[in-house]
Amino acid sequence: MSTVARTGESAGKVLSLYRQLLRQGNQFSSYNFREYAKRRTRDAFRENKNVEDPRKVQELVQKGLQNLQMLKRQTVISQFYQQDRLVVEGGLSGKDNEGGKLRQKDTGWD
Amino acid sequence: MSNIAPSVLRQASRLAAAAPLRSARVLSRATTAAAVKTASASASRSYVTETKRNNADVQAEHAIKLDHREMEKQGLAISAQDGSSQHVSPMADVLSNAAVMDEGQRPIYLDMQATTPVDPRVLDAMMPYFTNVYGNPHSRTHAYGWETDKAVEEARKHIADLIGADPKEIIFTSGATESNNMSIKGVARFFSRSGKKKHIITSQTEHKCVLDSCRHLQDEGFEVTYLPVKSSGLIDMAELEAAIRPDTAIVSIMAVNNEIGVIQPLEEIGKLCRSKKVFFHTDAAQAVGKIPLDVNAMNIDLMSISSHKIYGPKGIGACYVRRRPRVRLDPIISGGGQERGLRSGTLAPPLVVGFGEACRIAKDEMPYDSKRIKYLSDRLLNGLLSMEHTSQNGDPKHFYPGCVNVSFAYVEGESLLMALKDIALSSGSACTSASLEPSYVLRALGNSDESAHSSIRFGIGRFTTEQEIDYVLKAVTERVGFLRELSPLWELVQEGIDLNTIQWSQH
């Protein structure tokens, strides 16, 4: 976040925008778009972290807000038209199962 | 305790039903097992009901039994090949797959030269024009037309900005194929009216639509020179200069090759053509938005642009037609005079707006994307070339990093593609993937048939992740190794025999 915005309530705004963008970007059902959204916001905020001019900061925040609106619409659309997961994504629980079927954890006495 | 016995008995009865011949032995074994289990269970007390084994997985066996009974009723039960009494049900396969469907099955996409996914930002820009803003941009009389016309003109400006042109010089078409046809046939036919210029120059590695248009023009009476390329894929400038004649109408060289990713020296070619007063057309479908292009600095007179290669919608493209000095074309599609009379027909505002947005995003993101794609491409290429007997097709210095074309010796390309069926790849271009001929581009480089057959093209784009590249590297190394182990040629090579010295006997 910029040095100007490092203090004051604009720092909070920028930080909250960043968190909202990341959280919304995580809602994409497509692996590639999801990873791109998270990576791009991270890199864009990192790139602009030393911007001083308050007008430029305001402009960037506006662009961020527009992107947030776009993300809200597009994540919903992407969830309507879901597809099966990619091979590189891994299973539901993210657990590693070497061959065989994915079973629930054994409950009860051993 | 009392819960166990019925379930065990049920399982025993199921086993009995499945294998009637072995029933007696199995039943006895099952009952003894049941007896042992009940004995042990009663020894330790449990207050929690045992989780049944079947809880976590799909009742595949049960469903198979039901299906089997249905089939028997219809008299369709097929016995298995080996003659056992196990009846094979077509649903069994599907269900057993369904049970392990928890993991992803969809292949990862690494074929960006064939097409690219539509960027969500592009879709977001297109949506209003598919829903509420539905006017015809050529309607001059009401607000519906005016608002879509405004959007179309804005899109035109975005595209022009990307290539350094004036918005009035952009003509929308249905794609790069139509733009190529329009440019080459249009210029050639315009000149054939006066009968002065009858010669066309192109290269052997052009896209099929360019080569086919030229062949078509040969039937109309034009002469076409197909320039050979060096083994790196680049055009030889001296040969081009020698090929230009006083009656050359147009030179068509593509900017970035779709199969090997080689970037041609556009400034030099443009300068040469301008000095000889010959029109320079370039098929920049794979280049626009990926490498910096400037039609004025490169003296380009005609350029074909494709939307679906830069994360835009499919079905729309553009042709840049220079106005100063004016390039005269014979239009292919006649009609109401839209698009400066060069391409009549109603424009599709959603597609046009999506295309414009894709170009705007490409211009903004070009530094970030190119840095990232170079990083991923270097990672992939280093990994692939570190395997033995692999080589890159195309010039290693002048190529677009997003298109990596590697030959794997002693492995057949189609079989490698089948082995890599969890990765969406291509060997050669999508247009030629239907035929089994080796790619003409790779043949033009001077590669032998076997080498042309055994190459794979990896396409990296804006949305490719490091994880996908690592997955690809791991998969390729494993499976190429596996396929090579199967190959007798590989054995011979390992022993050190030079394959060219072998006398293959005729049968």
- pLDDT tens for A22-61 read 999 999 999 999 999 999 999 999 999 888 899 999 999 9
State yes or no: pLDDT of B505 exceeds 50: yes
Q: Do A86 and B56 touch (CB under 8 A)?
A: no
Specify whether the CB–CB gap between B258 and B285 falls below 8 A.
yes
Chain B contact present for A35, CB below 8 A: yes
- pLDDT tens for B303-338 read 999 999 999 999 999 999 999 999 999 999 999 999
The token duo for B340 is: 């400066």
Query: Model confidence at B6, in pLDDT bands (50, 70, 90)?
Result: low
Chain A contact present for B46, CB below 8 A: yes
Q: What pLDDT sits at residue B284?
A: 96
- CB-CB neighbors (< 8 A) of B115 in chain A: none
Crossing angle (nearest 10°) for helices B4-18 and B23-43: 170
Chain A contact present for B311, CB below 8 A: no
Crossing angle (nearest 10°) for helices A54-80 and B120-131: 70
Min distance B223 CA to chain A CA atoms (Å) = 47
Q: Do B120 and A78 touch (CB under 8 A)?
A: yes
Q: Do A91 and B103 touch (CB under 8 A)?
A: yes
User: What residue type is B29 in one-letter code?
Assistant: R
> Which candidate, B300, B304, B305, places its Cα nearest to that of B323?
B300
Q: What pLDDT sits at residue B77?
A: 47
Place of tokens 């239009």: B331
φ, ψ for residue B421, nearest 5 deg? -75, -5
- Quick check: ipTM above 0.85? no
- pLDDT tens for B270-301 read 999 999 999 999 999 999 999 999 999 999 99
Chain B contact present for A95, CB below 8 A: no
Q: What pLDDT sits at residue A6?
A: 56
State yes or no: pLDDT of A95 exceeds 70: no
Specify whether the CB–CB gap between B172 and B179 falls below 8 A.
no
- CB-CB neighbors (< 8 A) of A70 in chain B: 120-121, 124
Q: What pLDDT sits at residue B13?
A: 60
Catalytic residues of B: 431
State yes or no: pLDDT of A86 exceeds 70: yes
- CB-CB neighbors (< 8 A) of A35 in chain B: 463, 465, 467
- CB-CB neighbors (< 8 A) of B102 in chain A: 91-93, 102
Q: Do B46 and A102 touch (CB under 8 A)?
A: no
- pLDDT tens for B216-247 read 999 999 999 999 999 999 999 999 999 999 99
Q: What pLDDT sits at residue B205?
A: 94
Q: What pLDDT sits at residue A94?
A: 42
Q: What pLDDT sits at residue B99?
A: 47
Instruction: Tell me the C-alpha to C-alpha distance, in Å, between residue B487 and each of B182, B419, B457, B505.
Output: 47, 14, 22, 18
Chain A contact present for B63, CB below 8 A: no
Question: Quick one: CA torsion of B22, B28, B31, B36, rounded to 10 degrees?
Answer: -120
Q: Do A88 and B57 touch (CB under 8 A)?
A: no
State yes or no: pLDDT of A75 exceeds 80: yes
- Nearest chain B residue (CA) to A29: B120
Q: Do A32 and B109 touch (CB under 8 A)?
A: yes
Chain B contact present for A59, CB below 8 A: no
CA B196 centroid distance within chain: 41
Q: Do A86 and B368 touch (CB under 8 A)?
A: no
Q: What pLDDT sits at residue B447?
A: 82
Min distance A50 CA to chain B CA atoms (Å) = 18
Print the SS3 string covering A31-61: HHHHHHHHHHHHHHHHHCCCCCCHHHHHHHH
Average pLDDT rounded to a whole number, residues B46-50: 59
> Which residues in chain B (443-502) have CB-CB distances under 8 A to chain A?
462-465, 467-468, 471
Cβ burial B75-107 (10 Å sphere, 16+ → b, else e):
eeeeeeeeeeeebebebbeebeeeebebebeeb
Q: What pLDDT sits at residue B133?
A: 94
d(CA B448, CA B410) in angstroms, rounded, equals 12
